[in-house]
């Protein structure tokens, strides 16, 4: 593939595969770094087993196109944004069916910000 094809493939496939998990779980920084590393490998290298040089800094690659970037997403920032959207809905949209279900089942109708996780319970839900 040429560079444009690699960019499209990286942006549409590799960067979007973990999106579902990032909506629900806080990924450790090491996992985010590994995902970004795999995206860099796909974008810049011809062969994943040989050393390669990144032609542009990853900080420049993730910038918007108007600022000279290639419109890739930083995995850690994407994870934070998606979880922030989830928390926003839990706080500001209690009338949504999934919010009321989770509130009654797991929070026992107490406010999210005042909830304390009991010992032995899952930190996810």
What's the pLDDT tens digit per position in 111-120?
777 888 778 8
DSSP class of residue 12 equals I
> Do 14 and 61 share a domain, yes or no?
yes
What range does the domain containing 26 cover? 3-84
> Do 49 and 74 share a domain, yes or no?
yes
> Do 22 and 50 share a domain, yes or no?
yes
pTM, rounded to two decimals: 0.75
75-92 helix and 97-106 helix, angle to the nearest 10 degrees: 80
- Residues 93 and 99: their CA atoms lie apart, in Å, by 7
CB 87 within 8 A of CB 113: no
The predicted pLDDT at position 104 comes to 86
- Number of structural domains found in the chain: 2
> Do 103 and 74 share a domain, yes or no?
no
> Do 65 and 9 share a domain, yes or no?
yes
> Do 68 and 7 share a domain, yes or no?
yes
Cα–Cα separations (whole angstroms), residue 80 to 20, 29, 45, 49, 97? 13, 11, 28, 32, 23
What's the pLDDT tens digit per position in 64-88?
888 888 878 889 999 999 999 988 9
């Amino acid at each position: 593939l040429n560079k444009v094809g690699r960019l499209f493939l990286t942006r549409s496939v590799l960067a979007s595969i973990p999106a579902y998990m990032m909506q629900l779980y806080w990924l450790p920084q090491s996992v985010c770094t590994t995902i970004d590393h795999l995206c860099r490998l796909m974008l810049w290298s011809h062969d994943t087993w040989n050393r390669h040089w990144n032609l542009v800094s990853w900080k420049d690659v993730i910038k918007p196109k108007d600022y000279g970037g290639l419109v890739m997403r930083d995995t850690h920032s994407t994870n934070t944004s998606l979880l922030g959207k989830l928390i926003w809905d839990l706080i500001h949209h209690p009338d949504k069916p999934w919010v009321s279900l989770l509130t009654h089942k797991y929070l026992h109708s107490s406010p999210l910000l005042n909830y304390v996780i009991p010992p032995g319970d899952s930190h996810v839900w």
